[in-house]
Structure 1
Amino acid sequence: MKHIISLLALMLFISGISFAQNKSVKTDTIYVAGLCEKCEKRIENAAYIKGVKRADWNVETKKLVVIYSAEKTSLKAIEESIAHAGHDAGDIRATDEDYKKLPHCCAYKDVAGAGN
């Protein structure tokens, strides 16, 4: 009986630790300008910085859903990484220099209604 109680207490303790660690996991949605599957790959790759667990950009809605550890990174850092790859992300705009590195087919600012 003591073993069962000890085992239950241990399981509750481990569950409590896991739950406490998951409090820092956040899910956010960011508007990211882009046009195609090439953009999708570039945006998702740029979003995968340290602390990001998942990044999924939808080419139709232009929305990126990111799941990340708030202890390891921030939404702003993710947006900055995407902007550095040439795509406007949330409130962060890609510099002209970074934007000009995009392939011609991914030039979203040249397409009416495709950019912010």
Structure 2
Amino acid sequence: MKTLLIIFSFILISTQISFGQKKQIVTDTVSVDGVCEQCKERIEDAAFIKGVKKADWNKTTKKLLIIYDQHKTTLKAIETSIAKAGHNAGEIKALPADYNKLPSCCAYKDPQIVH
């Protein structure tokens, strides 16, 4: 009976703790290199990891608006995911191998593509 009471108490306490946690929704903006609509789609897809509610990249300003839950992800994790897709994101730079996988129209480091 004591064991049952201890188990029940533990379950009750742990459910109260988990219900006490509130979502921590954050809106942030990060600079992301890119040049075209294909870039926009790739960047937004890469940013949309678990915990991200919205990702909207602006081709003109090169800024990505991100809305995410801080309990599920971090800005660094989002930037890392974008960099793995080949785009520099904030402080995280794309590796040359990832950048080289981009289509030629997305070569944001090429002065002939970026005016």
Q: TM-score range by the shorter chain?
A: 0.7 to 0.9
**Gap runs ≥5 in structure 2:** 1-18
Residue matched to 1:21: 22
CA distance in 2, matches of 1:95, 1:48: 20
Counterpart residue type for residue 73 of structure 1? T
Q: Could you tell me the TM-score, scaled by structure 2's length? A: 0.78
User: How far 1:21 moved relative to its partner?
Assistant: 2.5
Residue matched to 1:81: 81
Residue matched to 1:60: 60
CA distance in 2, matches of 1:111, 1:60: 16
Cα RMSD of the aligned pairs, angstroms, is: 1.7
Q: Point out 4+ residue stretches in structure 1 off by more than 6 angstroms.
A: none
CA distance in 2, matches of 1:99, 1:50: 23
User: How far 1:106 moved relative to its partner?
Assistant: 0.2
Counterpart residue type for residue 95 of structure 2? T
1:17-66 C-alpha deviation (Å, 9 max, x unpaired):
8xx724x1001000000000000000000000000000000000000000
Question: How does 1:1-116 map onto structure 2 within 5 Å?
Answer: 21-22=22-23, 24-111=24-111, 114=114
Residue matched to 1:14: none
Tell me the percent identity.
60
Q: Could you tell me the TM-score, scaled by structure 1's length? A: 0.77
Counterpart residue type for residue 99 of structure 1? Y
CA distance in 1, matches of 2:106, 2:51: 27
CA distance in 2, matches of 1:21, 1:60: 35
SS at match of 2:61: coil
User: How far 1:67 moved relative to its partner?
Assistant: 0.2
